Amino acid sequence: MTQDNSFSNIPSSKKATIVIKKKTGDETLTCHFNPEKYTITRTIGWQQQSIKGQNVPPSEFTGGGPSKMDLNLLFDTSFETTAKDVRTDTKKLWDATRVETDSNDTSNKGQPPHIVFIWGRSWTFEAVITSLSEEFILFNEDGIPIRSNIRIQLTQVKDDTSFGKQNPTSGATPGKVYTVREGDRLDLIAAQYYKKPMLWRYIAEHNDIDNPRQLVPGQQLIIPPLP
Contacts of 215 (CB under 8 A, 6+ apart): 180, 184, 185, 186, 209
Burial of 56 (0-12, 13-18, 19+ CB in 10 A): exposed
Segment 52-76, tens digit of pLDDT: 777 777 888 877 788 898 999 999 9
Look over the chain and give the mean of its residue pLDDT values, rounded to a whole number: 79
What's this model's pTM, rounded to 2 decimal places?
Answer: 0.62
Query: What is the reported pLDDT for 53?
Result: 72
| Percent of the chain surpassing pLDDT 90 | 26
Q: Which residue has the higher pLDDT, 57 or 9?
A: 57
Does pLDDT of 165 surpass 50? Answer: no
Query: What is the reported pLDDT for 123?
Result: 65
Segment 95-151, tens digit of pLDDT: 999 998 765 666 667 889 999 888 765 567 889 999 999 999 999 989 999 999 999
Q: Is 51 helix (H, G, I), strand (E, B) or coil?
A: coil
Distance between CA 73 and CA 31 in Å, rounded?
A: 6
Distance between CA 186 and CA 192 in Å, rounded?
A: 10
